[in-house]
Structure 1
């Protein structure tokens, strides 16, 4: 398979196994959910009735006072414990390395089929100025949420994109399925593509 290089008559030869793979919604969904869950803190904590700081003495006499009840730490009272209290836990899901790489290849293949991958020889900015990056991106039809992938993102490029709310800059090592799925289009350099191929091969 060959991908056209923007602004050049040359074409870049890429692997069909990575950029021409059949789409699998179940695989992509599983890997994206697992990736997002791995980033959850899982630190939510609530107190049960036994952990609430309060007396467990009977709140009123047994008869003549309305409802018969014991401790005010019970869940039915304001300030009492929680019936099924949340406790700190891990949301991490196991995803095999082979499965993760396959999902990345499936996402890249679908982006390629939809014409949402733009390949360039190189991409960088001279100085850390947002206006410079904006003017450079106007030469491409990337949509509202572009993802820029370079072999090693320069500091100038990263700082230039920092104030643009929907523009993301990643190097190959920082590429993940959530970033790819959330992008309207992907602008990638030839060097980055070769490195991605080596990674997913």
Structure 2
């Protein structure tokens, strides 16, 4: 298949496996959830009634004092333990390489079908200026949450977009499914397309 290059009469020939794949919602959902879970710390910890610092001596006599109870470390008391206390754990989910690559291809293919994938020859800045990035973005209709993907994103691009909310700059190596799914439009250079093809094909 071929991808149209913005402001150019030429077209870029690409692999159907990467940019023409059928969309699998279940696969994409699984990979996105697994990717986000991999970033969770999983360090939350609470104490049970047996771990709380306090005596387990019976707090008052059995009869004559209202409700009967024993230790004040019970969950019903302030300062007591927590029922079903959270413990540190890993949220990681196994996703093999074949599934991950298939999901990335499915997302890119769906973006292309929806007209949210824009290919350009080059996208770079000669100096680090936010105003320069704003002017550059105005040349394209990218929506509120654009994702710019280049083969090897320069420092000028990263720093110029740093103060712009919702504008993301990624190189091919740093591309992930969450960034692709969350973008209104993905602007990608021809060199980046070729590198992605080598990676996913």
TM-score (norm 1): 0.99
Q: Does 1:95 align with 2:64?
A: no
Q: Which runs of at least 4 in structure 1 moved beyond 3 Å after TM superposition?
A: none
Tell me the equivalent position of 2:138: 138
How many residue pairs match? The answer is 201
Deviations 1:64-123 (A, max 9, x none): 111111100001111100010000000000001000000000000000000111111111
Query: Superposition pairs for residues 153-192 of structure 1, below 5 Å?
Result: 153-192=153-192
| Distance (Å, rounded) in 2 between the aligned partners of 1:26 and 1:177 | 14
Gaps of 5+ in 1: none
| Distance (Å, rounded) in 2 between the aligned partners of 1:151 and 1:30 | 27
Question: What is the root-mean-square deviation in Å for CA atoms of aligned residues?
Answer: 0.5
Gaps of 5+ in 2: none
Tell me the equivalent position of 2:120: 120
Deviations 1:15-54 (A, max 9, x none): 0111111111000000000000000000100000011001
CA positional deviation for 1:62: 1.1
Q: Secondary structure at the match of 1:45?
A: coil
| Distance (Å, rounded) in 2 between the aligned partners of 1:83 and 1:17 | 51
| Distance (Å, rounded) in 1 between the aligned partners of 2:53 and 2:128 | 54
TM-score (norm 2): 0.99
